[in-house]
Structure 1
Amino acid sequence: MGYVLLIYDIPDDGIRHKISERCKDYGLSRIQYSAFAGELDRNRREELMLRLKKTLGRKEGNIRLQPVCTRDLALAKEVVVEPS
């Protein structure tokens, strides 16, 4: 298993929604509006990307799945400001 970051930029609302649902189906968690993260092994990563490619079809968009090593994950920083 390895940690991955999946981000996408898709203008079509319907396709974007389908992509987010596929990410959830694979156990990824939404970390921002068009970004998901979580643990996937190599086979699941390949399977997910094939499904996302099929979902996107010939519509405009960009989907990136980036593995993140444990060392870099430990260095991650985040700033969160909750609404008042």
Structure 2
Amino acid sequence: MITLFLYDITSDRIRGKIAQICQDYGLKRIQYSAFLGDITANKQEELWLKCRRRLAEEEGNLMLFVLNQQDLARSRKYISKGAETKPVLLVEPTNPPLLSENNI
């Protein structure tokens, strides 16, 4: 299941720990506080509970969104690096590809 995990946390220490948890679950950083990847429903629940425990009483918020292939196919991302602009994949291609350069 395609998982988009976002957070807004004031504590640098907790923010770093949440980022590490996301990476431990195989999610790829797509923005400073946003991770995307393909994980099972059970792993989503584990990730959610682990991050909630880590945030505990600190100030911040967590968001987990589940996307299907149709939602992901409609997603767009554009990064401009001047003359070197080129399409960027939102997630690593799998079999079948989640996104390709043709639908970005």
TM-score, length-scaled by structure 1: 0.94
Q: Which has the higher contact order (CA 8 A, sep 6+)?
A: 1
The alignment status of 1:64 with 2:63, answered yes or no, reads yes
Q: Alpha-carbon deviations, 1:28-73, whole Å to 9, x = none?
A: 0000000000011110000111100111010011000100111010
| Partner of residue 22, structure 2 | 23
Aligned residues, how many? 83
| Partner of residue 11, structure 2 | 12
Q: Which has the larger radius of gyration?
A: 2
Question: Gaps (5+ residues) in structure 2?
Answer: 85-104
Root-mean-square deviation (Å): 1.3
Question: Gaps (5+ residues) in structure 1?
Answer: none
Distance in 1 (alpha carbons) for counterparts of 2:72 and 2:79 = 17
Structure that is richer in strand per residue: 1
TM-score, length-scaled by structure 2: 0.76
Distance in 1 (alpha carbons) for counterparts of 2:81 and 2:19 = 23
Residue identity (%)? 42
